[in-house]
Amino acid sequence: MTANQKKDKNKTVYRVEGFSCINCAGIFEKNVKSLPNVIDAKVNFGAAKVTVYGQTTMEELEKAGSFENLRIIPEKQHHDLQKEPYWKTDWHVLASLFFLVIGFLLGLQYGEGTLGSSLAYGAAILIGGFRLFQKGIHNLFRLQFDMSTLMTVAILGAAAIGEWGEGATVVILFAISEGLERYSMEKARQSIRSLMDLAPKEALIRRDSEEILIPVDEIQVGDIMLIKPGQKLAMDGVVVKGSSSINQATITGESVPVVKTIGDPVYAGTINEEGFLEVKVTKSVEDTTIAKIIHLVEEAQAKRAPSQAFVDRFAKYYTPIIILLAFATAIIPPLFLDATWSESIYRGLALLVVGCPCALVISTPVSIVTAIGNAAKNGVLIKGGIHLEEAGKLSAIAFDKTGTLTKGTPEVTDFITYGHQNEQDLITIAAAIEKGSQHPLASAILRHAVKRNLDLSQKVTDFRSLTGKGVKAKIKNEFYYIGSPQLFNERFASNLKQEHLSQIHSLQRQGKTVMVLGTEKEILALIAVADEVRPTSKEVVEQLHQLGIQKTIMLTGDHPRAADTIGKRLGISEVKAELLPEEKLDYIKQLQKEDKVAMVGDGVNDAPALAASTVGIAMGGAGTDTALETADIALMADDLSKLPYTIRLSRKTLAIIKQNIAFSLGIKLLALILIVPGWLTLWMAIFADMGATLIVTLNSLRLLWVKAHKEKRTSAVNAT
């Protein structure tokens, strides 16, 4: 067993309640790593989880988080978050505010600095800042200069130089700032909690002719789940009895219910709207589609985006520099410039407060967490901040044709006969031969024959596949051939008359793939097959062009004429036809020399091209493990309508992150400038810090309002 396997074997995941800031999450992670028998630990602040590698107990973990009064809960344990009233959780803030008001009133009545007002302000500082001082002093002894340390030094320093009122004001404003930060992260995490609550915690199961209501953890693969109209499905499965329309919005983001009948897959968290269904369970509770989505979204929130990595590196050097500047501001003027000690120390303390990087540090993660959660609710799975940011920078998008721009199920559109045999007999012959073929075009001929209720029991012998060109088989002692025009051109060129060639070229110009049915002596029929274009494809391409992505490319192995016809119909700017999978990969690599390029496919085919692109986008992620595992972004529904929304969301996220960083640094710079003439007071410094934090968090939460637009039916009709 390798070291990594041993590490994963001893992995335990817990949920954490009580995180108030990113710095606290970092301290908690460091504390957990230092516990005996713990090999490693990873804290996911966005998802409020800790992964522990090694052996420990919840008591030890809560002790490691006691500085923040963190509560630890096993990941799989069902837990309803109890929201306590503000006056219970933050009574100390209210009490501190009460003494601050008393101190202010006493100061008005008897003058600032009197014993009464100073005692009231002191009580406000002690009561409101007790928890803060515990953390700050503890970190100070460890030389950990985080937000708590800076605030503790500033408040106690203000009291030491007699600025009791301002010290008390800083305590109150800092407490409010922490509360707002906690609220914003809870709001962002709520999108994940709402996903976790989608699937019921128990289900009605039939076992041994008995119907029992049991928790989902006890349901086994193969159990029969009974779903009444209006109920949510608790597990993934396959319909074995009944028919109904299922609202799959929770998984795919589709608002229109989908009809499900025997043999169709259904997913946990979706709603049975009409009929009674019996569903055979196919996955355990931890492997359901909704469980995988939640897991992948939480993992995505832990992956740092490039902008967040920049902010973290910046903050690492920024905080010590601020401390040194504050120290220099406090001691240099009195020593060398004849300034008073109290005035210089006051300015140093103000610099310390305003220098807190709270707004800067929180600017990126709140945006990323909010955007990824919003995307998941709209049926788009984004597997990390880096992919979210890259999607916002795309300048080119390449599409696989079959199954992406088209439905992937070719249908016979034309059956043109020649000679003495009637159409019905020739369709029967073609279908009988193609029964032995695995090619998608063969299945189109078979479906065409089944729709016409034709007898397919015709005896076929000597079936042979002519690789890449067609098939041949013997029926009633005569060989029949079905294949491309190229096959007949090579073997029986004299049979192809001008009449046949003109008809073939005419059908190909319409974007259809043409097969020829014939014998060694004559051409019997032309069979035209087309893969139907998705109704939304044209509008999606139009929307992408409107978003500024002018370079849209269709990559296909299809005939150039058929590919060009579909490309023009959809408004695709460039078409590359007759490509093998490795040629698609080469083309993507070539594109990447000039553009940030996304490859959109089904997550199974063209995997090399998806992996090589800047962002690999897979369609139909619901129920497709490959799509969920291999793609950077998965569109859970099997259509393209969410692609423009994903680009808009990514660009909006990038813009908001840049706004947050610029605003956070700008407000700090302005406050630092005000310190020079002595215009910046302590309470103004904390107010600037708190205001910046509030503004960047509210700005980030605007990403919750980015919606997936409904398709315009007019464009959809035009596309068909």
**So which residues are the catalytic ones?**
400
Distances (CA, A) of 85 to 82, 88, 90, 204: 10, 5, 9, 36
Phi, psi at 389, each rounded to 5°: -70, -40
In the numeric block, the tokens 């075009």 are attached to: 441
Q: Which helix (H) or strand (E) holds 374?
A: helix 358-377
For residue 253, give both structure tokens: 């983001």
Q: Which amino acid is at 651?
A: R
Residue 417 sits at φ, ψ, to 5 deg, of -100, 155
Bridge-partner residues for 237, per DSSP? 266, 281
Helix (H, G, I), strand (E, B) or coil at 576: strand
DSSP 91: H
What torsion do the CA atoms of 52, 53, 54, 56 make, to the nearest 10 degrees?
Answer: 0
Q: β-strand 244-247 against 258-260: which pairing, if any?
A: antiparallel
The amino acid that residue 402 corresponds to is T
Cβ neighbours, 10 Å, residue 209 = 5
d(CA 709, CA 646): 11
For residue 462, give both structure tokens: 């000597």
Contacts of range 431-436, beta carbons closer than 8 Å, 24 or more positions apart:
431/456, 432/456, 432/458, 432/460, 432/473, 432/475, 433/460, 433/463, 433/471, 433/472, 433/473, 433/475, 433/480, 433/482, 434/471, 434/482, 435/460, 436/460, 436/463, 436/471, 436/473
* Spatial CA neighbour of 576 closest among 394, 395, 398, 408: 398
Task: Specify the residue for token string 């968290």.
Answer: 269
HSE, CB side, 13 Å, CA atoms: give it for residue 273.
12
Q: Is the Cβ–Cβ distance between 531 and 496 less than 8 Å?
A: no
Q: Is the dihedral of CA 683, 170, 184, 387 positive or negative?
A: positive
What lies within 8 Å, CB to CB, of 347 at 6+ separation is: 329, 330, 333, 675, 678, 680
**CB-based contact 123:167 (threshold 8 Å):** no
CA 45 to chain CA centroid, nearest Å: 16
**Measured between alpha carbons, how far is 664 from 402 in angstroms, rounded to an integer?**
47
The CA angle 126-131-135, to the nearest 5 degrees, is 120
Residues 6+ apart with CB under 8 A from 669: none
Taking each helix axis as running N to C, give the angle between helix 164-196 and helix 91-110, from 0 to 180 degrees, rounded to the nearest 10: 160
Edge-to-edge strand ranges of the sheet holding 478-483:
406-417, 523-533, 513-518, 478-483, 470-475, 461-466
Strand partners of residue 483 = 470, 516
